[in-house]
Amino acid sequence: MSIGEKEIKKLWGLAAGRCSRPGCQQECITFANSETTVVGEMAHVIAKKPSGPRGIAAGGEDTYENLVLLCPTHHTEVDKAPDGTYPPDLLMHWKQTHEAAVATALKSPHFSSRATLCGHIERLLAENKSLWATYGPESAAAQNNPYSNSYKLWRLRKLSTIIPNNRKIINAIQNNAHLLDQSAYGLDCKFVEHAEGFEQSSCEKLEDVPRFPSDFEGMIHGCSKTQ
């Protein structure tokens, strides 16, 4: 039995696509010379086979609860070290601490002006837009070669970057609502509906998820230039 799609999405999403080893946080997708490589490895806390690292008689399961996202170096380190060096409790502590740090990073600060708030949101939207254009289902790579591995990279980038960025935007809107006038409220709601539906659809396919509202992007771009 292999690791299921939902387990993969949950693990990559909550870890924000970075190694969970304290002090590492290496990006688990690398870019070099226009090439993209998935280097992250889903390590079993308790080995799948009884004879494997941290193995038990019944074997470990292919579930989110028994997996931790690591870079290749630290996956090798924890699996090749002498028995007892990296017990299951320690790996679970790494995972929980890392995921808590990711969740904290998504919390939005309070901004002093509408322009600085919109500038913050604009940068997040720009990163999302770049990833959509490069790997999304309507990208040149996907259109020119439907059998390319771009869909795999798109799935992982959604989980590691786009969904966390969307959550940052929602939190920024909610924590700084006093800076946005009533005319922007409807556009904010449209973005929230899109982002929430997009996130849920990434875990379980949903129909009729609202598309990204381009008028929201236009409003953010306009107010970020206003001093």
Residue range 7-63, pLDDT digits in tens: 999 999 999 999 999 999 899 988 766 677 889 999 999 999 999 999 999 999 999
User: 40 and 131 in one domain?
Assistant: no
Burial class (CB in 10 A: 0-12, 13-18, 19+), 82: exposed
- Residue pLDDT, tens place only, 53-103: 999 999 999 999 999 999 999 999 999 999 999 999 999 999 999 999 998
Residue ending a domain, choose from 63, 78, 105: 105
Distance CA 48, CA 72 (A): 18
Distance CA 186, CA 219 (A): 11
Name the H helices within 68-181.
72-80, 88-105, 114-135, 140-144, 150-157, 163-175
Question: What are phi and psi for residue 41, nearest 5 degrees?
Answer: -130, 135
User: 219 and 120 in one domain?
Assistant: yes
User: 36 and 84 in one domain?
Assistant: yes
Q: Which two tokens stand for residue 214?
A: 């381009």
Model-level pTM greater than 0.75? no
User: 218 and 139 in one domain?
Assistant: yes
Residue ending a domain, choose from 86, 105, 124: 105
Residue ending a domain, choose from 40, 71, 105: 105
